[in-house]
């Protein structure tokens, strides 16, 4: 934000200085003056473009840092920091999860003094893929109540678009507060949220694939994330208690991974997702010329040529403002049992946070309602310390 403000001030200062002081001195018809005027115009345009780019990045959350942009972020976490004043209630890190920071979710209106849960900033590492990525884990208030001490909770992975920033799911879409409100109003059971972005190896867009001779992003999301979360938090370990959702690229990733791996996710919601991965400068060659691999990542091809998976899916679009409207109708028409598909279609809405925020209060409860509560943990044996997942 400071850099964005600085560039905006420089752009304004550059324009004022050019008009008030520089331009009158370059008004003569000589080659040096002409080249000077060209340089002044280019300089002002560069300052303006940089300011606009920073403003757009701040609004959409494409990149969180220079290392993120350049692909040099190693994703290492800082030492564990637990929020003071809540002894014994913070999540116990274990397995492939390292807690970086923990904070309370502000109370819902009218419920002063009663936090709406906790938000854990974590790094999730995976043994099967060898990858790690930052995430936010939302724990509902019931997670810390005594009567739920041996309860395992269903879990939902939520993904941003590309390149994305998981913070947008908190700051722009307010997902923890939406979940807390739905839980409080009994629209959904208490559910743990895992808020992430699909860009595990920035700046490359892998479209959540196990790239041949490259990063195993699909393995990370379908094996490592559920396993690591189950070892560190009281969440279920089977597909019946796990759902996944996402926006844009995250929507495609969520739908693709649930269709390819129903053993990992039994339900999915795709907000403004597409149905076939693009190949461009950000993706590189994802398939290495393998037509079979290309087809398997094309969701329409899968519906036409492979047995449908036993999952429940919700897809969203808008009649006006979304380019995926017609493909979404085609997708819905192609779905066959045992797969089940529902839709949320707005009259109008763009490919942006405003549209997704309008869809979220209906999408999130729908997804949670498709999941089953996992079996409870056995009561702790007196004198035996609980495991990290308890």
Q: Which carries the bigger pLDDT value, residue 283 or residue 56?
A: 283
> What is the greatest pairwise CA distance in the chain?
92
- Which tokens is 296 given? 């398997």
- What is the separation of C-alpha 237 from the centre of its chain, rounded to a whole number of angstroms? 21
Q: What is the pTM of this model?
A: 0.79
3-state secondary structure of 41: helix
Instruction: Determine the pLDDT at residue 1.
Output: 55
Q: How far apart are CA 156 and CA 316, in angstroms?
A: 18
pLDDT in tens, 62-116: 444 454 444 444 433 333 223 333 333 444 555 589 999 999 999 987 777 678 9
Q: How far apart are CA 154 and CA 133, in angstroms?
A: 21
Instruction: Determine the pLDDT at residue 120.
Output: 96
The answer on pLDDT for 12 being more than 90 is no
- Nearest alpha-carbon partner for 71 in 165, 204, 210: 204
Q: For residue 381, report the phi and psi dihedrals to the nearest 5 degrees.
A: -80, 130
pLDDT in tens, 114-134: 789 999 999 999 999 999 999
3-state secondary structure of 272: coil
335 near 341, Cβ under 8 Å? yes
Mention every residue, 6+ apart, whose C-beta is less than 8 A from residue 78.
100, 101
- Nearest alpha-carbon partner for 226 in 188, 197, 196, 265: 265
Q: How far apart are CA 311 and CA 148, in angstroms?
A: 28
């Amino acid at each position: 934000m400071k850099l964005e403000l600085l560039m905006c001030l420089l752009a304004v200062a550059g324009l004022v200085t050019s008009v008030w002081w520089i331009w009158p001195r370059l008004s003569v018809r000589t080659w040096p003056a002409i080249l000077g005027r060209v340089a002044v115009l280019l300089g002002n345009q560069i300052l303006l473009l940089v300011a606009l780019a920073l403003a757009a990045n701040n609004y959409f959350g494409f990149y969180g840092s220079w290392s993120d942009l350049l692909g040099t972020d190693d994703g290492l976490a800082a030492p564990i920091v637990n929020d003071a004043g809540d002894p014994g209630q913070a999540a116990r890190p274990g397995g492939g999860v390292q807690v970086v920071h923990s904070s309370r979710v502000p109370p819902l209106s009218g419920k002063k003094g009663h936090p709406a849960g906790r938000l854990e900033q974590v790094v999730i590492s995976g043994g099967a893929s060898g990858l790690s990525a930052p995430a936010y884990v939302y724990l509902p208030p019931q997670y810390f109540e005594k009567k739920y001490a041996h309860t395992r909770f269903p879990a939902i992975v939520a993904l941003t678009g590309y390149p994305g920033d998981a913070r947008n799911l908190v700051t722009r879409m307010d997902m923890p507060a939406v979940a807390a409100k739905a839980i409080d109003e009994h629209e959904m059971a208490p559910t743990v949220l895992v808020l992430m972005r699909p860009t595990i190896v920035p700046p490359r867009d892998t479209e959540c694939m196990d790239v041949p001779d490259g990063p195993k992003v699909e393995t990370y999301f379908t094996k490592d994330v559920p396993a690591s979360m189950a070892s560190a938090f009281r969440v279920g370990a089977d597909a019946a208690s796990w759902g996944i959702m996402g926006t844009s690229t995250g929507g495609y990733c969520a739908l693709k991974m649930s269709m390819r791996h129903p053993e990992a996710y039994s339900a999915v919601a795709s907000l403004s997702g597409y149905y076939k991965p693009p190949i461009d400068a950000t993706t590189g060659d994802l398939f290495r010329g393998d037509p079979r691999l290309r087809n398997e990542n094309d969701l329409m091809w899968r519906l036409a040529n492979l047995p449908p998976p036993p999952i429940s899916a919700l897809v969203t679009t808008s009649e006006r403002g979304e380019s995926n409207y017609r493909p979404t109708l085609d997708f819905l028409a192609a779905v066959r049992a045992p797969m089940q598909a529902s839709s949320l279609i707005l009259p109008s809405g763009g490919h942006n946070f405003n549209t997704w925020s309008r869809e979220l209060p209906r999408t999130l409860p729908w997804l949670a309602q498709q999941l089953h509560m996992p079996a409870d943990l056995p009561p702790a044996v007196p004198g035996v310390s609980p495991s990290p997942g308890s």
